[in-house]
Amino acid sequence: MQTAKQYLNTKEVAQLLQVNEKAIYNLVSEKGLPAVKVTGKWLFPRHLVEEWLELYIVNMPVAGNLTLESGRLFLAGSDDLLFQRALGLYNNHHNESIAYFATVGSMGGLKALRQGMCHIAACHLLQNDNQEYNFRFADRELERAPVFVNFSKRQQGIVVLPGNPKNITSISDLAKADITIVNRPLSTGTRLLFDYEISHADISADAIDGYHTEVSRHLDAGLAVLNGAADAAPAIKPVAALLGLDFLPLRWERFDLLINRERFFEPAVQRFINLLSDSSFRDIAKEFVGYDMSLSGKMIYPDNLEL
C-alpha cells in the first residue's frame, strides 16, 4: 500500500485543488494556503493543505441573504486551531444550519458583536489588572454585558526553531541584533499580550526587528519561523506542536465566547455551545497540546441569565 506524500510540490497542489499552478501563488499570498519555501522551491504540508481546503470551503460566503435571522450561525473574532475544528464539526453535524467564521481578531469580534454582524465573538483580551480577560473590553464596546461562555484555556508563548538556535530565553532577547520576528495584528489578543510583556521587559518595541511585520493567523506565524522568514513569533502552543517548533511559554489565558443576551437561546447558538460538551469534540481536543478544557462550555458570566 502506497503511503501518501507528506509534502506536495506546486504541481501536485494545483492538481489537488483543481487550479492552474499560477493560481497557487495567489492562494499562498492572499488566502493563507500553508506553504514552506525550501532551497527556492515551495513545499506544501499535505495535512495542512487538506485542513485549509476544508476550512476554506466551510467559510466560503454564499449568495443570498446572510442576515442573522437567516438560520445560519455567524462567528467572528480570534484565530484558533481547535476553534476551527469545532466549526468544521458543527457543520458536519447540523445540516439545518451552517456556521461562518471571520478571523478579525478579538477586538474585531467585539465590534462585530456590537454592530449586530455576528452571533458569537471569540475573544481573549487581557485586562490591565493582568488577571481577568474580556470583561472590561466588553463593558467598553457594548451597551449591555453579554453572556460569557468559555471555549478553552490555552497556552500563549513564543515559537522558535527546534533546538532554539538563537538561544532565545526571554522577551528581552528578541531585541538582539541577530533576531527577527513576525508579529500579530493590533486587533488581536495575542498582540495585546505581547505588547504587555514587552512593556514589562527592559526593551522597546522599536528595538525588535520585525515588530511591525504582521501575519493574520497563529499558523502563519509558526510557518514564518519554520521556513526561516523569522527567528521567533508570538503564537499558541498548539501551533508549535503541529509544526514541530520549540515553544517558550508566557502564560495560560482564557479564550471566551461572547454572545448578546437576546440571541443566547437561538437554536444555532445553543447547538454550538452544546457541541463543546459533546464527546466527539472532546476527543478532537485531546489531539492537541496546549489546551485546558476544564471550563469549556461553561457559562462564566452571568451566574443566572435573565433576558
The stretch 67-78 carries a mean pLDDT of 81
pTM (2 d.p.) = 0.77
Contact criterion met (CB below 8 Å) for 145 and 134:
no
111-128 mean pLDDT: 93
What span, in angstroms and rounded, lies between the C-alpha atoms of 108 and 78? 8
Choice between 58 and 24, residue whose per-residue pLDDT is larger: 24
Q: Are 113 and 121 in contact (CB under 8 A)?
A: yes
What's the average model confidence in pLDDT over 298-302? 93
Give the residue from 148, 150, 146, 149 showing the smallest Cα distance to 261: 146
Partners of 233 in the β-ladder:
159
Instruction: Round the CA-based radius of gyration of the chain to a whole number and report it.
Output: 20
User: Pairing mode, if any, of strands 73-77 and 120-123?
Assistant: parallel
Name the residue among 54, 123, 48, 53 with its Cα closest to residue 90. Answer: 54
d(CA 159, CA 133): 23
The Cα 179–Cα 240 span in angstroms is 18
Instruction: Give residue 69's pLDDT.
Output: 63
Contact 253, 154 (CB under 8 A): yes
Domains belonging to the chain, first-starting first, are 59-301 (3.40.190.290)
Q: What value does the mean pLDDT of the chain take?
A: 88
What angle separates helix 46-58 from helix 81-93, to the nearest 10 degrees?
Answer: 60
Using the predicted structure, report yes or no on whether residue 164 has a pLDDT greater than 70.
yes
Residue whose C-alpha cell is 528595538: 207
> Does residue 26 carry a pLDDT above 80?
no
Taking the CB of residue 285, how many other CB atoms lie within 10 A of it? 16
DSSP category for residue 70: G
Confidence class for position 56, pLDDT limits 50, 70, 90? low
Residue 188 has pLDDT above 90, yes or no: yes
> How confident is residue 66, by pLDDT bands cut at 50, 70 and 90?
very low
- The helix-helix angle for 21-30 and 10-17 (nearest 10°) equals 90
